Chain A
Amino acid sequence: MTMSPAFKVTLRVLTGLALLVIYVPLLLVVLNSFNASQTFAWPPEDYTLEWWRKAVDSQGAKEAVVTSVQVALIASGISLVLGTMAAMALQRYRFFGRDTVSLLIILPIALPGIVTGIALNNAFRTVFGLDLGFLTIVVAHATFCIVTVFNNVLARLRRMGTNLEEASADLGASTFTTFRLVTFPMMRSALIAGGLLAFALSFDEIIVTTFTAGAQQQTLPIWIFNNLFRPNQAPVVNVVAVVLILLSVIPIWISQKLAGPTDGLAGR
């Protein structure tokens, strides 16, 4: 694009500033995990590894991580199945109410989390008569994770077209064989990208979780929130935060290996 040089420089400077604002808070969290002051006095006067040692020994944090991983794995599994089915139906068929269905799929994420949270809380307890617990967290998480898988698979199906599937059917392959040998392999990377996003979304969710978790289940975000305002625990929370920042590199690395720059990651 032929922009004036001054304008280009302005854009570059603004982008640089934005990135600075994006990363300074995260770097500060990392730095504070070594800050000897329990209240994170600024600038740090002394550095310590004590918080890291305490975090490694923290039973509560470890149990919360296990719960969060279990919930995220099951919820993304369910959303992979349901999201793929919905995407195939919407991409391959024209039917009455198709627009409504696509709106319905983004609804759990387009509506504020608090609404989804309280609606499910109310339905679980009064309509289904369930006690809040592990199961209710999983169901709630799967509900808002479907859209991430759906978006990824839909985009992939759109690009794939139907030629290869038709060729497979013409050559005598059954519906299932075609899916197993043709459709599925072509969708695989979209499924991984969608599944990763679903996992991350579930792992990080707190608002809906607060309303659907029982008193016994603590996911990691709930554990963090419960300990955030306790002066003794704050430095341990800070270390957990650093670990989460470092771990977030893994899904990004995987999805970059899988796809182009924006592919599969844009939609929440």
Chain B
Amino acid sequence: MSIKWVLFVVCATSFLRSVASAGDVVSPLPGRFTKADASETPDFRRHVLPTMGRMGCNSRACHGSFQGQGGFHLSLFGYDFKSDYDALTAGQHPRIDLAHPENSLILNKPTSADNHGGGLRFPEGSWQYNVFRRWIETGAKGVSPGDAEFVRLTIAPAEVKFDHVGATAKLRIVASWSDGATEDVTAISRFRSNDDSVATIDEDGVITSRGPGDSHVVAFYDNGVQPIPVMLPMSDRVGSRYPDVAAPTLYDRLVIDKLRKLGVVPASTSTDAEFLRRVSLDLTGTLPGPKDIESFLADKSPDKRARKIDQLLETPAYAAWWTTKLCDLTGNNPQQQSDQIYKREQSRQWYEWIYRRVLENKAYDEIIAGLLLANGRDKPDQSYLDYCREMGSYFRQSKPADFTARKTMPYYLSRTNVRKPEEKALSVSYAMLGVRLECAQCHKHPFDQWTQKDFTQFQAFFQPVDVGVKPPSGPEAKQLREEVGIDKLGGKNRKQVIATIHERLEKNQPVPFTELYVNNRQIPPFQRQRMEQMLKNNPKFAAQLQKKGKAGTPPTVTPKLLGAEEVPLADAPDPRVKLMEWLRRKDNPYFARAWVNRTWAAYFGVGIVEPPDDMSQANPPSNRPLLDALAEGFVAHHYDMKWLHRTILNTAAYQRSWRTNASNQLDNHNFSHALVRRLPAEVVNDVLMQATANRQQAEAMQTSMENRAIGPALDKGDRYLLVAFGKPDRVVTCDCSRSNEPSLVQTVFLLNDAALRGRIDAGGWMQQVRQQIQPGKGRPVSPAASDALIREVFLRTVSRPPQEDEMKEAKNVVATAAGPVDGIRTLLWTMLNTKEFIVNH
């Protein structure tokens, strides 16, 4: 026996109990089990399950299916150790045979292609065969409570930079456990490429470069999900050959750092007119007015862009557009409001509550706290009847009280589609963390660290939160309901009941309202301890607990922050408070990043994490230092949203042209040039109005939000247009519910919709044009007046003066039209139908 072999055996046999010293990495599993007489005892969690995962046994298409396959069911992605262990060893048809290991189904099925629906997985005598057989021979042990926990994956190389298509690199994956053991698990890990056109990865962890660009490959083992950046430069202008590119801000430097590695040279700066239109649409959802454009173009001062950003940040349109986005995110939909009569009013109040805070530039975390920590009664010691009077005062016809003065805004959590604690958990993780937890509701998240237990414990933060009447006010509420007769609201007396309610509201008499409240009752600790013990022993129990976790009852399990500590309930009568504290904590990896990333995505058409609502381990940021720096700055500036806007909008990256060069034309996620984006639905509605309204109305639209689709009123805007252009319905928790894709219907609408044509042909502005030109008096129109109107058409639509050739062409249009008014009208229609108008560029 060679020395090498001796060492190997010692290392392998002592594997389970030994604490390997640092750097003592256990060699790969296949080598240790090449021989049938290997004496090591394989570990169920560390070796047996990952081997099955690697062969696809627990995939969705095979035994990981919710229904199982051939009567054998494994947990999806293999993280429910107990249930998988039971599926293999217990029940009527155990898959192993301790007395005659060689007769075990888990050996005979995969080796016999004929009787196995999944075909041949490994031959007899292969290392996989030996691992399984040896595990059975040694007693087929499962997991025990005292076992070491998985700690992390360490991957070499940490980053892969290719220099030609077809080049390869092999990964080595090492798993660390809490007992100090480390093992090379490359052979029993799974892999995925995030972009096959950049690089592919095979089952052995060999990466092959497929084309220029950058992406990640991801390795999976146990609960570990580890992305590895891969790239092939897009040009030969890398490193020292990279040109000198101005990087005026910290964030520009971080963008350029990445571009330099990729050999991507950024586009030049946008023109002043392009910048003005872009920033006005992005920041305020509004076109710049003709006067604004003229004075901005005439301004020769070097800081005019920065000043314009500051100026736009002070407009109501800024507050309205970003309130619209916050309403998208938090799901402000009139149909889902809690009140039976005042749904639409509630939806408007929700908007206004946020609007006021955005306008006053209240800190982002304060706004979120107002939603997350909301209570119906948010004044100390308010009685139920006083609460009802207060709520009534917001809905009465004459001089309604100011809802926006409320400290908290309860409608986010009182919506009918988030009544269950699990629904609140999903909404909060999506909106406030940018994390999708759906997967973990039913099984371990395949692309992140979240387990079902994590989900159940996260949902516990919301379990005591309910909509109804907070005990002990029940009897009072019942009496009031009877007095008002509100239970007849569903019947034929509806009108009468509503009349009674209106009347009482005007007299400041209470009418019954439901309230968002927290049940602070505690369940006896021994009971919860029992639940937790069960949860620990049987992960299946997590699903049952989720279902049992009825809203308005004390949490059955101790709430646990995502990826952080548990929150003992004794310290937290309202566990949401602890959740909010965690959101604000410096080490919170999601809260600030989620908002910073969404803001960035709104300005660049693509997030640093893309899609922005998928912050998961397998979907890493395209530029981590950039995301970190922005989030750090945002927190350091006390969640000042205007600071964030100002910072991003003042970067050279934001102000770049869409005109690409040979090195950056394929780049679409490293911010090397502006991406052309179709305008969002509400903005399309509003800019069409702006372009066709008379001069006074158009100006008023910049300051009054009342007639705007981005404003507070629910009935403003052309519904057909808004649907056709993809306004989100705010029901699903997905950033994808807003669609900015173009369609044939949109084009047909812009070309020929009767209502829109009416506004073009005879809207406010055309009436002014008609008056100005006065064709009735037979006086010829002066060329100067005609030219000024042509110029105004361009300013109103594409926000720039006409170029020389365009001016010539436009004059020709006016000269050859049935009359000058007709000429201007035709020109207006034409410009509204250019691509330049309907996109932000």
State whether these chains interact: no
Binding site for B on A (CB under 8 A): none
Binding site for A on B (CB under 8 A): none
